[in-house]
């Protein structure tokens, strides 16, 4: 799958080149901005660039050709696994929900039940930050997390996970899977996962399967939001203050919008109608309580109205979704969503 980048403002997975040792990353911007693993600061431009024979997101990580690198950078921007030298596509969606990056069999006889990105509770307007990356592996059996506190083995003894830190990036390297590497720097909003793909799976997750092609999980014309919504994980794997409502959004997308070509059409229509609400109107409501005790509960209400919008559109009640969104503006003090979706103005 080609890279998709912009989901969580600060998700970024880092990895070494084919598991080789890396040196601490250099800094740009007068020593204030760290470059990712296998990247250097170009003196002429004062910008991070990947080392020769590697590709990736230099602010986060670069990896050798043939490795599967998935990165996320603040705002957020996600880039999917892709073994080619092309940078891939970008996707940006600001929903504070845990998402599944990938699952399936990888080189070295490994099976990953899921690799997840969890959001940070802090928000800045329409920005969501990645707080933690979680790896759940069956072959070998181990479950570990990487966050700003370091690397923690949660359970399992099937593989050793080695912790390291360079340039503010906490990195966990998993033995036995051609050195799977996961890195995160929540201060600078970057995260990365480097796998020895390609990945063999039927439910590839946001990052895909590293075979260089788009997955058959939605049309290539689908909006970023429509694509992202497919990979919100179920409630029991959600983390963060909005875990419950995020799990409900996931269930609505899966069970009301459905799957296959018909599901693609419904989900795309729901994204078109509901995205202006969550990206414009919802941000205004969120900002009105930012920094207060009511911030989380208020944004939960925004997310629930977003879920109801999806439910109405996928359930065949687009007119109801449009009228509900319009009615919210008068009671909130925020301007109505703009531009309104074409589906609301037939």
What does the pLDDT look like over 14-32, one tens digit per residue?
333 333 434 445 778 777 7
The reply to whether 77 and 186 lie within a common domain is yes
The reply to whether 29 and 148 lie within a common domain is yes
**Residue 196: which of 216, 166, 171, 175 has the closest Cα?**
175
Q: What percent of the chain has pLDDT over 70?
A: 71
3-state secondary structure of 243: helix
The encoded tokens of residue 269 equal 């229509």
With 0-12 / 13-18 / 19 or more C-beta atoms within 10 angstroms meaning exposed / middle / buried, residue 73 is buried
Neighbours of 294 (CB within 10 A): 12
The reply to whether 155 and 281 lie within a common domain is no
Spatial distance between the Cα atoms of 52 and 63, rounded to a whole number of angstroms: 10
**Per-residue pLDDT for 75 more than 70?**
no
Q: pLDDT band for position 303 (50/70/90)? A: confident
Q: Is residue 234 part of a domain?
A: no
pLDDT at position 172 = 92
Q: Is residue 188 part of a domain?
A: yes
The reply to whether 160 and 264 lie within a common domain is no
**Per-residue pLDDT for 160 more than 80?**
yes
Q: Is residue 4 part of a domain?
A: no
Q: What is the DSSP letter of 105?
A: E
- What's the number of domains the chain is made of? 2
- Looking at 135-149, 167-181, 186-200, 313-327, which range is the least confident one? 186-200
Residue with tokens 């592996």: 137
The reply to whether 81 and 186 lie within a common domain is yes
Q: Is residue 314 part of a domain?
A: yes
pLDDT at position 197 = 67
User: What distances in angstroms separate CA 314 from CA 63, 294, 328, one per listed residue?
Assistant: 40, 30, 20
**Per-residue pLDDT for 324 more than 50?**
yes
The reply to whether 136 and 49 lie within a common domain is yes
From 138, 163, 195, give the residue that closes a domain: 195
3-state secondary structure of 303: helix
Q: Is residue 114 part of a domain?
A: yes
Q: What percent of the chain has pLDDT over 90?
A: 18
Spatial distance between the Cα atoms of 344 and 336, rounded to a whole number of angstroms: 13
From 136, 170, 195, give the residue that closes a domain: 195
The reply to whether 132 and 275 lie within a common domain is no
Q: Is residue 108 part of a domain?
A: yes
* Mean pLDDT, range 198-223, rounded to an integer: 62
The reply to whether 29 and 168 lie within a common domain is yes
From 195, 210, 227, give the residue that closes a domain: 195
Spatial distance between the Cα atoms of 170 and 185, rounded to a whole number of angstroms: 6
Q: Which domain holds residue 133?
A: 12-195
The reply to whether 164 and 46 lie within a common domain is yes
pLDDT at position 8 = 38
**Per-residue pLDDT for 233 more than 70?**
yes
The reply to whether 87 and 186 lie within a common domain is yes
3-state helix, strand, coil in the chain (%, to 5): 25, 30, 40
Neighbours of 108 (CB within 10 A): 14
């Amino acid at each position: 799958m080609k890279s998709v980048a912009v989901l969580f403002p600060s998700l970024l997975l880092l990895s070494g080149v084919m598991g080789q040792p890396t040196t601490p990353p250099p800094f740009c911007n007068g020593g204030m901005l760290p470059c990712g693993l296998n990247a250097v600061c170009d003196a002429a431009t004062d910008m991070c660039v990947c080392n020769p024979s590697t590709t990736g997101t230099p602010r986060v990580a670069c990896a050798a050709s043939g490795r599967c690198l998935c990165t996320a950078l603040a705002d957020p921007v996600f880039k999917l696994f892709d073994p080619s030298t092309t940078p891939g596509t970008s996707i940006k969606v600001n929903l504070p929900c845990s998402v599944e990056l990938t699952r399936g069999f990888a080189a070295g006889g490994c099976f990953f039940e899921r690799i997840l990105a969890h959001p940070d509770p802090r928000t800045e307007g329409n920005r969501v930050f990645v707080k933690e990356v979680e790896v759940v592996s069956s072959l070998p059996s181990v479950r570990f997390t990487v966050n700003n506190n370091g690397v923690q083995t949660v359970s399992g003894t099937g593989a050793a996970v080695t912790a390291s830190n360079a340039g503010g990036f906490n990195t966990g390297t998993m033995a036995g899977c051609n050195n799977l590497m996961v890195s995160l720097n929540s201060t600078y909003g970057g995260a990365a996962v480097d796998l020895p793909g390609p990945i063999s799976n039927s439910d590839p997750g946001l990052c895909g399967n590293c075979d260089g092609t788009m997955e058959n999980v939605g049309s290539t014309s689908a909006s970023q939001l429509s694509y992202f919504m497919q990979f919100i994980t179920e409630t029991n794997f959600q983390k963060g203050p909005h875990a419950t409502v995020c799990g409900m959004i996931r269930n609505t997308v899966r069970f009301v919008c459905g799957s296959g070509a018909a599901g693609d059409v419904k989900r795309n229509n729901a994204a078109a109608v509901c995205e202006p609400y969550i990206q414009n109107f919802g941000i205004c409501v969120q900002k009105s309580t930012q920094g207060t005790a009511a911030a989380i509960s208020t944004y939960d209400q925004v997310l629930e109205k977003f879920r109801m919008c999806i439910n109405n559109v996928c359930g065949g009640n687009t007119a109801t979704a449009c009228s509900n969104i319009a009615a919210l503006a008068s009671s909130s003090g925020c301007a109505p969503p703009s531009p309104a979706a074409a589906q609301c103005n037939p």
